[in-house]
Amino acid sequence: MPESAALRHRGPGTRVVALSDPWARRRLVICMTPQGADLHTVRALVDALLARPSGA
């Protein structure tokens, strides 16, 4: 789970532990069809996913 999500949902008695094992590393890819690139809603979603969080 992304660290930001883990931190948002942690509660009493839980802790977030970062994984450093090679199997835990991920490369994320965003894909869309050529038609999707022409749709405002799809483009807005992709832009939001690609945006860097503030402070990053």
Question: What average pLDDT values come out for the chain (56 residues) when binned by 10 residues?
Answer: 86 88 85 88 89 68
Q: Residue 31 has what pLDDT?
A: 87
pTM of the predicted protein model: 0.46
Does 56 reside within a domain? no
Does 17 reside within a domain? yes
State the residue range of the domain holding 7: 3-50
Asked if residues 46 and 33 have their Cβ atoms less than 8 Å apart, the reply is: no
Does 39 reside within a domain? yes
Q: Give CA angle at 54 (3, 15), nearest 5°.
A: 20
Q: Residue 39 has what pLDDT?
A: 92
Domain count, the chain: 1
**Distance in angstroms (rounded) separating the CA atoms of residues 28 and 41:** 21
Q: Closest by alpha carbon to 26, among 3, 55, 52?
A: 3
Does 55 reside within a domain? no
- Using DSSP's 3-state secondary structure scheme, residue 2 falls into coil
**Distance in angstroms (rounded) separating the CA atoms of residues 31 and 6:** 25
